[in-house]
Amino acid sequence: MIGENPTEISDRHSKVLHAFSRALGREAHVLTQQPNLLWQQLYNRLQWEGEEVKLVITPEFAQRSERGAKPWLHLQNPSRESDMLIRTLEVHTRWVMKCAFSPDGRFIFSTSDDNRLRIWDPETGQLERTLFLEGHTGSVSRCAFSADGYLIVSANLDRTLQVWETISGKSHNVWQATPQVPMRVAPTLVQAPPALVKECEFSPNNHFIISTSTDNMLRLWETKTGQLLRTLEANSPAFTFSPDERFFVSTSDNSLQVWEISSDQPLYTLDGHTKVINACAFSPDGHLIVSASEDMTLRMWEVTTGQPLCTLEGHTKGVNACAFSPDGRFIVSSSKDMTLRVWDGATGQLLYILIGHTKDVNECAFSPDGRFIISASKDETMRLWHFTSEQPQHLLEHPTARVTACLFSPDGCLILSNTDSWRVLDIASGKTLCTLEGLTELVEACAFSPDGRLIVSAVNQIVFPGWNVNTGQMYNTKASERIGAKQCLFSPDGRFVVFGWGRTLELWDSASMQPLCALEGHTRSVVACAFSPDGRLLTSASEDMTLRVWDIATGRPLRTLKGHTGVVFSCAFSPDGRMIISASEDMTIRVWDATTGQLLHSLIGHTLSVYKCAFSPDGRFILSASKDKTLRVWHPGKADMLASLPFPGEFSELGFHPTKPQILCGDESGSIYQFEIVGFDFGPTIVSAEKVVDGVKVRCPTCQHLFLIKADSLDGELDCPKIGCATKLRVTPFTISQSNSLDQALQISDSISGQLPHDMDGHTSSVIVCGYSPERKFYAGCDNKTVLVWSSTTGQATNIIVGHNGAVRACAFSPDGQSILTAKNKTLQLWNAHTGNLRHTLHGHTGIVNAFAFSHDGHTIVTASDDKTLRLWDLDSANLIKCLISHTARVNACMVLPNWRLLISASDDETLRVWNTATDESHILIKHKGPPKACALSPDGSFILSCNEDKLYVWNSRFGQLLYSLEGHTSIVNACAFSPNGHFILSASDDKTIRMWDTYTYQPLQVFKGHLGSVKSCAFSPDGQFVISVSDDNKLCIWHPYSGVNLAYFSFPDGLCSMGLHPTSPQVVCGDRGGAIYRFEIPGIEYGPILVTAVETVQKIEVHCPACQQLIPIRENQLGSEMTCPTPGCGLRLKINPFVIHMT
């Protein structure tokens, strides 16, 4: 410009040239393959540069945005990548396993599991050579470069090691990596196949190669001859040599072992990590070791003393690799969280986060001069980064999970997305409107209601019906378990919601959130579904390579669309309802006639599976997203590709703006992008009219104004009449019915009508346990977050006991019904059952508390924990009485014998132990093949019942002797119980049956058949006259114990996972996997006298009445007889067992 200083002009030009050069370098891997995308790719990067660059590109942008210009895709938000990125190297067709610089820094070497070694020029990013590692008879599983970069050692599935020259590809040595092991197979001596090699590595001076294998052996080889020098017993997934080759370090699970090269025993072990160590490295001077672990940390150690120096924390997933810079001042690490991080080698301070990869980063290394970093990833790329030791840059945050949903609201003003949390964003301000509460698990799908006020989602295996968009709060907290829930979708009128899991789609009423009918017919899992604009049809896409079109009114399939040769991942109706499009694993998008099912076009151009497809709001364009990391725009009638946009990662979701040529998409790295389609002529937005009482109305998707139209406006065009809007609309020739279902949903009262007196709602995930209080006034259930207490009279929640930030693993009433004890993580909390106030917190366990049991009087408890101990506590003072130690693994369960002298515990160490609380001694009952899954105590405390796999075992509780083994089930036994009189044993199994056994002969008496799924729990009624069971077939069944006849069954909306019986009357409380608790009376059944067992003390024999909780003195001659409780106002009929429990 006139009057400008030449220095300023030169500086401005330099900045522009530098920006263009940087953008070209970062897009080189795309432009070498698609040079026609030069403007699009450069502009999408340069638009975020300084004013100097914007002055240069703005005139060109205006020209390329004019009507009639060649279409292109304009990125409207910057890519999430670090400024330190130089370029991406993208040729590998499989995961890149290893990468390294040559010693002079002139080349980069890389290998992947496609058996190819590639040599790159780091200055240009050009691939110089590709060498196929010939000689192996199987694929290469592991490889490593020598320190000088001239050799590579590869391990193969044919169990050999081979050394190669990296430049020429010439093979030097091949040898058997794991020796043959003699194995006698009657009567011939054969050679057993050797173990597979897990890792291999060169020593710094190439004198040695070290390898580990699946036989848990570490072997040291001479590189030149291939001679085996030493075999050491070590289960080591990673190892490294010291620079002087005096030492090497190997890993073993979560510890490191330091060895002298000439020794057969480790010098010392370095402990500190809490999970498997994936990598380790020496500093260049050999004084330090850095280790990288699945526990998301790196640790630095002093070599001579073995002392830990510091812990490097910051990664959000397991750390795969680590390396020191050549001068030892810095450490680089790569992780499953898709990032690299650079740390200060002296202090452990985090300096940089390198963002750009879209999948796990497997490997990282510094260049010989320390100026660059190379990384290799599962995203099939390597990335070259410029490293500077200047002041740390701003540390960018990075998403930790793939985007499973991102979509515009119906009015286009909001965006729903899940990066690190589920948020509703206001597009105009960019601010978060709300965060959806309770969404902590993997969300497979979500959808806005037609009016944009509600959201529904499918969360992993659980369907959460909905949230209020304005508040983020769940408007209906009922949840329902469905295996593989992957779809959810509102109908256009908002009356229905479709959920999909497995091979089935279910149509639900949106107001009550109750299932109406199931759409069945696919032979493999349903992956996607879409409503027609009039809401009368539904199309579904399946892994069975077909689409099906369903009539919503009848629930019947109308036609099947066949033609794809791979899984169909996505489907959509055109806005006018005339076409259906589908995207498939076969790399095509297909266009079908929605009326006849005839194939109209196949859109071919993607090079890998196509995951998503969608119509533009005007119906003129089709959008597709593929595993080949491209987004493409197509003409539906001509089958022409109009535009293409490459991306760093694989797409997982996409959606069109309802009225504008804008696209929203998310990838597997957690990034969300917004685009504008430039150069396209967008036509009127297609809308469907609503039929109402006073006529026909149309809702403008831009301003949400609802206005009356004339009948002759159907199938015509018009402008929105609202002042300031004037959006052009094209009305479809059909109408949809108006519904107030969504208004009802916002005020819905949760209940199961007609059958169950109370539906106890409030839980938001699976109910783990539930049961009555002994005094019958309350019953409780717990899910993963809260403990709820309900009145058994009204079914209303009397208390919601909060105070837990983690999973509540167990809860129970005290014997007097006055308190509730809960276990959460490492602590227990005692609550007042009436007020919900916290009485005591018990601290002491160092692992998760899995179970607890009360003493007979309720003053003492025993707890079982992951820390391998049982602990006895005084509940009145909240003091620890003693700690019982003998188990060698987590303790899963515990029981108390009525006299409190003996305890029973079951552990993952595959033992069942009996403890004497006076002496702290314990006896191992038996060494199971696996951990005991469940156990029960006989009414007199003499016998213990346990189950493991498909068998049950009966033991003497005093001496720990195995008495009987009960066989008959054909699959895993999930639960077991004694009858109230001790005469029978009940067991429930995955084989869909319940079995009853005689405790005198221990022979099977009855097999109860009728459940269609795994039986999860079983119990005798308090009078012993009925058997009750629950199953994952959603049924609770009542059985006659002697005939095996199914007297009644109750179907539930969801799978049942817990059950408790009322102590005196035919009532059941049960919990489903959705978090609901149900209490109901069993019609047509009357209990006989309730079976009780007398307790003998020094001076008297007493019976405890379960109704009034009173102790009633009895005479010895009353044992085995019936009586009426003498407490005024009680009158419960009791049948006293003929035996007593001795409390002395």
Q: Is residue 479 part of a domain?
A: no
In this predicted model, what pLDDT tens digit does every residue of 165-193 receive, in sequence order? 777 777 766 555 555 433 322 232 323 33
pLDDT given for residue 157 in this prediction:
61
Q: Catalogue the long-range contacts made by 798-806 (C-beta closer than 8 Å, 24 or more residues apart).
A: 798/834, 799/831, 799/833, 799/834, 799/835, 799/836, 800/762, 800/836, 801/831, 801/836, 803/829, 803/838, 804/829
pLDDT of 775 over the 50 cut: no
Place of tokens 């100097």: 52
- Of 144-148, 805-809, 1008-1012, the range with the lowest mean pLDDT is 805-809
Residue 1073 has a pLDDT of 63
pLDDT band at 104 (very low <50, low <70, confident <90, very high): confident
- Are 879 and 775 part of one and the same domain? no
Task: Give the pLDDT mean for 545-569.
Answer: 91
β-strand partners of 556? 551
Question: 173 vs 509, which has greater pLDDT?
Answer: 509
769 and 859 fall within a common domain: no
Verify that 38 and 101 share a domain, yes or no: no
Residue 571 lies in a domain: yes
Largest CA distance in the chain: 120
- Does residue 438 belong to any structural domain of this protein? no
| Residue 766: per-residue pLDDT | 43
* Three-state secondary structure string covering 955-1014: EECCCCCEEEEEECCCCCEEEEEECCCCCEEEEEECCCEEEEEECCCCCEEEEEECCCCC
Residue 158 pLDDT grade (very low, low, confident, very high; cuts 50, 70, 90)? low
Say yes or no to pLDDT of 948 above 90.
Answer: no
Pairwise pLDDT comparison (1134 vs 114), residue with the higher score: 1134
What pLDDT score was predicted for residue 761? 43
CA torsion angle for 1136, 1138, 1141, 1144 (degrees, to 10)?
Answer: 110
The C-alpha torsion from 515 through 518 and 524 to 525, rounded to 10°, is -20
pLDDT in tens, 863-873: 999 999 999 99
Q: Is 90 exceeded by the pLDDT of residue 999?
A: no
707 pLDDT above the threshold of 80:
yes
Separation of alpha carbons 975 and 969, rounded Å: 12
pLDDT in the model for residue 421: 61
Within 8 A by CB and 6+ apart from 888, the residues are 868, 907, 909
799 vs 304, which has greater pLDDT? 304
Q: What is the pLDDT of residue 323?
A: 94
Residue in this structure with the two tokens 């710094």, named with its chain if needed: 204
Task: Summarize the confidence of residues 199-226 as an average pLDDT.
Answer: 83
Per the CB < 8 A criterion, the answer to whether 761 and 1079 are in contact is no
Per-residue pLDDT, 783? 45
Q: What is the pLDDT of residue 774?
A: 45
Same domain, 693 and 648: no
Q: Over the stretch 719-736, which tens digit does the pLDDT of each residue have?
A: 999 888 888 888 888 777
In a domain, 455, yes or no: no
Q: Among 341, 359, 386, which residue terminates a domain?
A: 386
* Strand-pair partners of 434: 424
* Chosen domain end from 386, 407, 442: 386
503 has a pLDDT exceeding 70: yes
Radius of gyration of the chain from Cα atoms? Answer: 35
What was the pLDDT predicted at 216? Answer: 78
What local confidence, expressed as pLDDT, does residue 749 receive? 24
C-alpha separations of 979 from 429, 711, 783, 1046 in Å: 66, 72, 28, 18
CA distance 1077 to 478: 10
Q: Considering only 81-85, 778-782, 843-847, 964-968, which range has the smallest mean pLDDT?
A: 778-782
Q: Is residue 1025 part of a domain?
A: yes
Reported confidence tier of residue 789, pLDDT bands at 50, 70, 90: very low
Question: Does residue 45 sit in helix, strand or coil?
Answer: helix
Domain identity same for 117 and 138: yes
**Structure tokens, 863:** 């707890």
Pairing mode, strands 1090-1096 and 1133-1142? parallel
Query: Mean pLDDT over residues 1058-1075, rounded?
Result: 70
The CB-side HSE value for 429 (13 A sphere, CA atoms) comes to 6
Whether 33 and 95 map to the same domain: the answer is no
Report how many domains make up the chain.
Answer: 7
Q: Identify whether residues 115 and 233 lie together within a single domain.
A: yes
Q: Which of 114-123, 137-146, 780-789 has the lowest mean pLDDT?
A: 780-789
Cis peptide before 661 (omega within 30 of 0): no
| β partners of residue 51 | none
Average pLDDT over residues 888-894: 87
Chosen domain end from 386, 408, 423: 386
Task: Please compute the mean of the pLDDT values over residues 144-148 and round it to a whole number.
Answer: 77
Q: What is the CA 1103 to chain-centroid distance, rounded? A: 50
pLDDT band at 422, cuts 50/70/90? low
Q: What three-state secondary structure class fits 632?
A: strand
For 624, the 3-state DSSP assignment is: strand
Phi, psi of 298 (to 5 degrees): -115, 150
d(CA 249, CA 1096): 65
Per-residue pLDDT at 242 exceeds 70 = yes
- 111 confidence band (pLDDT: 50, 70, 90): confident
Residue 830: C-alpha distances to residues 244, 772, 791 (Å)? 60, 17, 19
CATH number of the domain that 1068 lies in? 2.130.10.10
* 518 sits in which H/E element: strand 514-520
Greater confidence, 407 or 268?
A: 268
Q: How confident is the model at residue 1072, as a pLDDT?
A: 65
User: What would the pLDDT profile of 302-323 be if each residue is shown by its tens digit?
Assistant: 998 889 999 999 999 999 999 9
Amino acid at position 113, single letter: D
How far apart, in whole angstroms, are the C-alpha atoms of residue 478 and residue 557?
29
Each residue of 958-968: pLDDT tens digit?
Answer: 767 788 889 99
The three-state DSSP-derived secondary structure of 534-578 is CCCEEEEEECCCEEEEEECCCCEEEEEEECCCCCEEEEEECCCCC
Predicted pLDDT at 185: 28
Is the distance from CB of 432 to CB of 681 less than 8 angstroms?
A: no
Instruction: Tell me how far apart the alpha carbons of residues 181 and 1048 are, in angstroms, rounded to a whole number.
Output: 61
The pLDDT, as a whole number, for residue 1125 is: 92
pLDDT greater than 60 at residue 740: no
Check the CA dihedral 948-954-957-958 and report its sign.
Answer: negative
Residue 700 lies in a domain: yes
Three-state DSSP state, 248:
strand
Taken in order 371, 376, 379, 382, the sign of the CA dihedral is positive
Regarding whether 984 and 889 lie in a shared domain, the answer is: no
For 392-404, the pLDDT digits (tens) are 444 445 555 555 5
Residues in the chain, how many?
1144
Q: Are 778 and 817 in contact (CB under 8 A)?
A: yes
Please indicate, yes or no, if residue 504 is contained in any of the structural domains.
Answer: no
Nearest to 1121 by CA among 1103, 1097, 1141, 1137: 1137
Res 293 pLDDT > 70? yes
- Checking if the pLDDT of 760 tops 50, the result is no
375: confidence class by pLDDT, cuts 50, 70, 90? very high
pLDDT at site 176: 57
pLDDT band for 295, please (50, 70, 90 cuts). Answer: very high
Domain that holds residue 44: 6-64
pLDDT category at 572 given cuts 50, 70, 90 is very high
Distance between CA 1133 and CA 915 in Å, rounded? 36
Residue 798 confidence class, pLDDT cut points 50, 70, 90:
very low
pLDDT at 755 over 60: no
Tens digits of residue pLDDT in 270-283? 999 999 999 999 99
Residue 118 shares a structural domain with residue 152: yes
- The strand pair at 797-801 and 808-813 is best described as unpaired
Pair 624, 698 in one domain = no
Long-range contacts of 984-989 (CB under 8 A, 24+ apart): 984/1020, 984/1041, 985/945, 985/952, 985/954, 986/1018, 986/1019, 986/1020, 986/1027, 987/947, 987/952, 987/1018, 988/1015, 988/1016, 988/1017, 988/1018, 988/1029, 989/950, 989/1014, 989/1015
**Burial, 68: exposed, middle or buried (Cβ in 10 Å; 0-12, 13-18, 19+)?**
exposed
| Range from 222-236, 317-331, 396-410, 495-509 that averages highest in pLDDT | 317-331
457 Cα distance to chain centroid: 15
3-class DSSP state of 939: coil
- Given a cut of 80, whether residue 821 has pLDDT beyond it is no
- Say if 1105 falls within a structural domain: yes
902 closest CA partner among 927, 875, 878, 923:
923
Task: Sort strands 474-476 and 454-459 into parallel, antiparallel or unpaired.
Answer: unpaired
**Highest mean pLDDT, choosing among 609-618, 652-661, 772-781:** 609-618
Are 782 and 910 found together in one domain? Answer: yes
* Strand (E) or helix (H) holding 531: strand 526-531
In this structure, are residues 804 and 764 in contact, taking their beta carbons and an 8 Å threshold?
Answer: no
- Indicate if 908 and 1039 belong to the same structural domain: yes
Binned at pLDDT 50, 70 and 90, residue 671 comes out as: confident
Q: What is the pLDDT of residue 781?
A: 47
